[in-house]
A and B are shown apart, each in its own frame.
Chain A
Amino acid sequence: MDKFSVFSARLVEKDELFTSGHRACQGCAEALAVRLVMKALGRNTIVAMATGCMEIISSPLPTTAWQVPWIHVAFENSSAVISGCESGMKAMMRKGKLPAKKINFVAMGGDGATADIGMGQLSGAMERGHDMIYVCYDNEAYMNTGIQRSSATPWGASTTTSPAGKISKGQFTQKKDMPKIAIAHNIPYVATACPSFPFDLMEKVEKAAAIEGPAYLHILSVCPTGWRIPSEEAIKYGRLAVNTCVFPLYEYEYGKYNLTYRPHPILPVKEYIQGQGRFRHLTPEDIDSIQERTRTEYEKLLKLSEEG
């Protein structure tokens, strides 16, 4: 944590490409993540965004929060839309219809757009090898429509379609591992990040932009509204997710795993779980089982990282 106590806005790019005045909820860490991603990308960027919180809050006609060219078509297809932008511009530059220039082609979507409805289209875009960055802002449920479960919702979380009840623990499945699915496409760069660790996040975005070919970034974006925590605690819960190893920060670059941050000491998951309204029904035994799974998953990742 010490490394990040020096955080200062002065060390970060001043240009705001995702500007204030948007309609995000108070304390939205996803809006913060978008802002940091855009700072790292710079102006030579085209963004295709999926339907969802970030789209709705940033583009109510006739206003926009975007200072870069931005397009929204539908929910599931930001990866296909950016494929078209990238290939269309490539052809036009090759044919001399546009001046040659390096542009970042970036698709963005929430966890529902990425892990559920847009999974096939993302897989297609990664497989075809477009020079693009896909950013998943994972707030672990369909927050825009009112906190319904997605396949990225963690086990035990109570949502409006996986409610905790007399015979229900809430979400009944384990969180889908999207970064691993991206890695299985043999793309050059995959990374996880969290806006509670802003420099780590921005460095990864810069790396993704520099690498030719598809890159996938999975950003844990704490949602105070959906996680039922106070709006001023989003950054704290992001840190806790990382420091309990529930959400490890790592990257995968040309076949090699690298943990970019090793929490020391590793905090018990209980500190992350307790205090979140979505987990308040869980028993100590339930939390133990989450602890156990977190430990084994982290050990697997450590091993992969040591293997290089």
Chain B
Amino acid sequence: MAKERKGIEVSLAVAEAVGQADCDLISAYPITPQTHIVEHLSEMVANAHLDAEFVPVESEHSAMSVCCGAAAVGARTFTSTSSQGLALMAEIFFITSAMRLPVVMALANRSLSAPLSIWNDHTDTMMVRDGGWIHVFVENGQEAYDHVFWAFRVAEDPAVRLPVALNIDGFIMTHMIEPVDFEDDELIKRYVPEYRMEKRLDPDNPVSMGCFAMPEIYSETQMVRENALVESYATCIKAWDEWAALTGRQYHPVETYRADDAEYCIVTMGSLGETAMAAVDELREQGELVGVIKIRLWRPFPFDDLFKAVAGKDTLIVLDRAISFGGPGGPVALELRSALCNSPKAPVVVDYVAGLASRDVTVEDFKSIILGGKAKAAGGEIAGFTFYGLRG
């Protein structure tokens, strides 16, 4: 493929990127809204546009299991799922990272049942937050395309060797047609070269993978796992910088918009960031000193980048798209509160849960959340969270 700007559905752009990365094996099971990604990959394989094995399995549990087997022999491996599919594969999701198998997964984020809902929020991905994977959130089609390569590059780096979940908002992004700058194959090959896994399943150099651990050694295995994920941060940054050098598109773990002189900020993850930016533009015209903070890298959590972004702000208003039932708020707000609680000048964190199951969060909604959050902070109503825009 040559360098070219295309108007393309984001799912198809993701699939094309998996093809450009010369993936060896794709295994998946159909679930909305991830289906267009794997349908397009099947077509690419069927038309010899991509030389890979497409393993159409009988469940998502098997999809992740097949990916484990393929990654263990050293194949470049991709899968995609959503919601209930992720819940079914959750058992293997945790094992994949523990066994250091560099699988890349596009997670078309969708609500969890019940009631059954095929629409978008972040309840699925938050369920596996503690699964030991690298989690990245993207905001538009270009970012989704770019991060497929970034995900393979980081996952397969010998210093990392961890699976990466590429979180893409279901429908809101997966089914949108957007302009995407495609890069040429040569550039991609330089960025994601053919990789050799040093310790793989190979009859000439046999190794045992997935041994069981007695209490005397289990904790040490978990320490290694934690260190690997924390240390992967450096490679995440390096891979973004290299991508910027090749394409001019630079990404950061935490990104800000009109936040430098802001007194307070709205915090988002995923595709709603762009709506938040539009709302902030309008509020700025009304004289509000407000900015946007967008968290791109969710795991490993970028503490220092967050501290830098919030320095000097008195209030953070979080738009959470999942709930920790019975707990003190949504997962993003919880993370910020715990990250900031020991800082001497920590901003106050006000939490809103909105946009569940793709319920619209418009520019007007954002303005109302931002101003409402500001008033709550001023009135000291900062505990827990608020469901935004509920009926009755």
- A binding-site residues for B, Cβ under 8 Å: 43-46, 48, 55-56, 59-62, 64, 66-74, 76-77, 80-92, 94-95, 97-98, 101, 103, 120-121, 123-124, 127-128
A66 partner residues in chain B, CB cutoff 8 A: 206, 208
The CA of A60 and the CA of B214, in the complex, are separated in Å by 7
For B208, the closest partner residue in chain A by CB is A64
A92 partner residues in chain B, CB cutoff 8 A: 24, 73-75
Closest chain-A Cβ to B335's Cβ sits at a distance in Å of 29
Q: In the complex the two chains form, is B206's CB within 8 Å of A70's CB?
A: yes
The CA of A60 and the CA of B210, in the complex, are separated in Å by 10
Closest chain-A Cβ to B142's Cβ sits at a distance in Å of 29
Q: In the complex the two chains form, is B201's CB within 8 Å of A85's CB?
A: yes
State whether A87 and B203 are in contact (beta carbons under 8 Å apart), knowing that A92-B73, A97-B24 are contacts in the complex. Answer: no
Task: Identify which of B52, B73, B206, B213 contacts A68 (C-beta below 8 A).
Answer: B206
Give 13 pairs: A residue, B residue, CB < 8 Å, sorted on A. A43-B203, A56-B212, A68-B206, A72-B209, A73-B69, A73-B92, A84-B68, A88-B25, A88-B53, A88-B77, A89-B75, A92-B73, A97-B74
Task: Identify which of B52, B56, B201, B208 contacts A59 (C-beta below 8 A).
Answer: B208
The CA of A90 and the CA of B92, in the complex, are separated in Å by 23
Task: Identify which of B68, B73, B74, B214 contacts A73 (C-beta below 8 A).
Answer: B68
Stretch of B59-67, B230-238, B260-268, B292-300 contacting A (4+ beta carbons < 8 Å): B59-67
Q: In the complex the two chains form, is B24's CB within 8 Å of A61's CB?
A: no
Taking A56-B212, A64-B208 as known contacts, 4 extra A-B pairs with beta carbons closer than 8 A to each other, sorted by chain A number, are A71-B69, A80-B66, A84-B27, A97-B24
For A94, the closest partner residue in chain B by CB is B51
Q: In the complex the two chains form, is A77's CB within 8 Å of B74's CB?
A: no
For B29, the closest partner residue in chain A by CB is A124
Is B18 at the interface (CB under 8 A from chain A)?
no
A91 partner residues in chain B, CB cutoff 8 A: 24-25, 51-53, 75
Q: In the complex the two chains form, is A69's CB within 8 Å of B203's CB?
A: yes
State whether A124 and B51 are in contact (beta carbons under 8 Å apart), knowing that A69-B207, A73-B68, A84-B67 are contacts in the complex. Answer: no
For A69, the closest partner residue in chain B by CB is B201
Closest 4 CB pairs of A and B: A84-B69, A88-B70, A88-B75, A80-B65
**Residue among A69, A70, A101 having the largest count of chain B Cβ atoms under 10 Å:** A69
Is B211 at the interface (CB under 8 A from chain A)?
yes
Q: In the complex the two chains form, is B208's CB within 8 Å of A81's CB?
A: no
**Interface SS majority for chain A:** mixed
Q: In the complex the two chains form, is A81's CB within 8 Å of B69's CB?
A: yes
The CA of A55 and the CA of B69, in the complex, are separated in Å by 17
The CA of A101 and the CA of B57, in the complex, are separated in Å by 25
Is B134 at the interface (CB under 8 A from chain A)?
no
Interface size class of B (residues with CB under 8 A): 35 or more
B55 partner residues in chain A, CB cutoff 8 A: 83-84, 87, 128
B194 partner residues in chain A, CB cutoff 8 A: 97
The CA of A101 and the CA of B71, in the complex, are separated in Å by 19
Is B187 at the interface (CB under 8 A from chain A)?
no
The CA of A121 and the CA of B217, in the complex, are separated in Å by 31
State whether A85 and B70 are in contact (beta carbons under 8 Å apart), knowing that A74-B95, A121-B62 are contacts in the complex. Answer: yes
Q: In the complex the two chains form, is B212's CB within 8 Å of A73's CB?
A: no
Q: In the complex the two chains form, is A71's CB within 8 Å of B72's CB?
A: yes
A68 partner residues in chain B, CB cutoff 8 A: 203, 206
Closest chain-A Cβ to B30's Cβ sits at a distance in Å of 14
A124 partner residues in chain B, CB cutoff 8 A: 57-59, 62
A45 partner residues in chain B, CB cutoff 8 A: 203
Q: In the complex the two chains form, is B209's CB within 8 Å of A70's CB?
A: yes
The CA of A70 and the CA of B73, in the complex, are separated in Å by 11
Is B304 at the interface (CB under 8 A from chain A)?
no
The CA of A69 and the CA of B201, in the complex, are separated in Å by 5
Q: In the complex the two chains form, is A82's CB within 8 Å of B24's CB?
A: no
A67 partner residues in chain B, CB cutoff 8 A: 206
B27 partner residues in chain A, CB cutoff 8 A: 84, 87
State whether A60 and B62 are in contact (beta carbons under 8 Å apart), knowing that A82-B69, A89-B73, A92-B74 are contacts in the complex. Answer: no
For B98, the closest partner residue in chain A by CB is A73
A97 partner residues in chain B, CB cutoff 8 A: 24, 74, 194
State whether A121 and B203 are in contact (beta carbons under 8 Å apart), knowing that A64-B208, A72-B211, A92-B74 are contacts in the complex. Answer: no
Q: Could you mark each residue 191-219 of chain B with 1 if its beta carbon is under 8 Å from any beta carbon of chain A, else 0?
A: 00010000001110111111111100100
The CA of A55 and the CA of B194, in the complex, are separated in Å by 33
Closest chain-A Cβ to B76's Cβ sits at a distance in Å of 9
Is B91 at the interface (CB under 8 A from chain A)?
yes
The CA of A74 and the CA of B236, in the complex, are separated in Å by 29
For B52, the closest partner residue in chain A by CB is A91
